[in-house]
Amino acid sequence: MKKTTVQNGYLTVSLETAHRLPDQPFVGLVNGADAPLLPLDLPAGLKGLAREKVAQRILAGNTATSLHPFASKPHVAPWTHAIVVSDENVAQWRETFQVGTSRCVAILPDYLALPCAKDVWVIEVAGDQARVRLGQTDGFSADIDMVAILLAKATPPKAVLRLGTSAHSIDDLIAELGVPVCDSVKALAKIAPSVLPAFSNGELLFDLGKDPRAAFNAQAKTLKSWAVPVILAVLALGLWTGAELYSSAKITTQTTEIRKETVDAVRAMFVPDGPILDVKAQVTQALVARQNATSNASTLGSPLELLKATGAVINASGVTLDVASYSETTGLAVTLKLSDFAALDQVVDALKNAGFNVKIERSSSIDGGGVEAILAVLNAAKEQ
């Protein structure tokens, strides 16, 4: 992605080039990894004023993070997604883009500057980073390896708009889909007439530089409750720069099964004890605590490298790796499904022989036969 360009009539300016702001209207773009787009669960049991009060209470109770409502069609209720941002980051972005004194039209995550269309993947690669739109309500930015992992878990598209430079892991995955691949919006429009150019789907209305609480007050009649089920794949994007890696579920699916798996994941990764009463608030508290914690995680290398190295040993042992999570304070944790306890011992021995310090956190028999176990890979024992 060019750091300064014109998209659908709007000049876009990245943080890297914001030291020279133009004297014409522009859109400020920030790293999408710092502003993940999360889906919302809207309980049918809360109606009218009750919904408004819940939304306002949750937002007011969180001083570290803001939720910016996002919908595929602006001004249409209910809100189905939200962009989650750090208040500190927003303050820095407003200062950088000189909101209020410059001609900044809006501050947006960079993935919202891409075209979009239903059932179409839009992918742009620049350097070792990529930004993606998966339809009108999904988008994210991350490094190429992470994007490849998430795309492999996403609902396959009917077409792909591929922009930017090549990336083998992403391009190989696209080739396996067997769907049309276009290199321009004009070419895509021939097979997907509903494609919308950049900023044509109301994206500018979701300005991160505005106070989301003010937006709630202005849209009081359409507010919904903000009980947020954290879809793991999307959370992994938002947490990647904080060295947090989570098992990914399908990004665009919000079925009952996935919501149940999400609650289970929150229990396993964020709220090990006590009731889960307010998912969004409890997860946010856990994230803030982890991001502020000091640790020796730097000795481990990147979380993805650690996961790859551990996964290679596990796969070589013929064992199924079910879920993986990473924390700066505790390291890598993997959930395995094995045929029996003897197989578990073999995997542990293989990991130790490969140079990892391994601890069995939990193991138990499962219905229908077999064993489920959680292993903690505390660190890489081998020193480079």
Whether 336 maps to a domain, the answer reads yes
The percent of residues in the chain predicted with pLDDT above 70, rounded, is 64
Q: Evaluate whether residue 148 is within a structural domain.
A: yes
Residue 81 lies in a domain: yes
Asked if residue 283 belongs to a domain, the reply is: yes
Residue 129 and residue 82 share a domain: yes
Residues 67 and 214 in one domain: yes
Query: How do residues 271-318 score in pLDDT, each as one tens digit?
Result: 777 666 666 666 766 765 665 443 434 444 567 777 878 888 888 778
pLDDT band at 72 (very low <50, low <70, confident <90, very high): low
CATH classification at residue 306: 3.30.1360.100
Handedness of CA 114, 120, 124, 129 (dihedral sign): positive
Same domain, residue pair 58 and 194? yes
Domain end position, chosen among 292, 319, 334: 292
Residues 202 and 324 in one domain: no
What element of type H or E holds 63? none
> Which stretch of 108-112, 200-204, 316-320, 341-345 has the lowest confidence by average pLDDT?
316-320
Taking residues 253-272, report their average pLDDT: 63
Q: What pLDDT score was predicted for residue 233?
A: 40
CA distance 224 to 232: 22
Distance (Å, whole) CA 133 – CA 271: 31
DSSP 14-47: EGGGTTS--SS-EEEEE-GGGS-EEE-B--TT--
The band of 27, judged by pLDDT with boundaries at 50, 70 and 90, is very high
Domain boundary among 166, 192, 222: 222
Task: Choose between 229 and 128: higher pLDDT.
Answer: 128
Total domains, the chain:
3
Query: Do residues 256 and 357 both lie within one domain?
Result: no
Q: Are residues 210 and 355 in the same domain?
A: no
By residue count, the chain amounts to 384
Indicate the average pLDDT of the chain.
Answer: 75
SS3 130: strand
**Same domain assignment for residues 280 and 314:** no
Determine, yes or no, domain membership for 63.
Answer: yes
pTM assigned to the model: 0.55
- For the ranges 60-69, 291-300, 359-368, the lowest mean pLDDT is seen at 291-300
In terms of DSSP bridges, do strands 65-70 and 81-86 run parallel, antiparallel, or are they unpaired? antiparallel
Q: Which domain holds residue 125?
A: 4-222
Rounded Cα–Cα distance for residues 129 and 141 (Å): 7
Query: Do 217 and 239 sit in the same domain of this protein?
Result: no
- What string of DSSP letters covers 313-360? HHHHTT-EEEEEEEETTTEEEEEEEESSHHHHHHHHHHHHHTTEEEEE
Where is 182: in which H helix or E strand?
Answer: strand 181-182
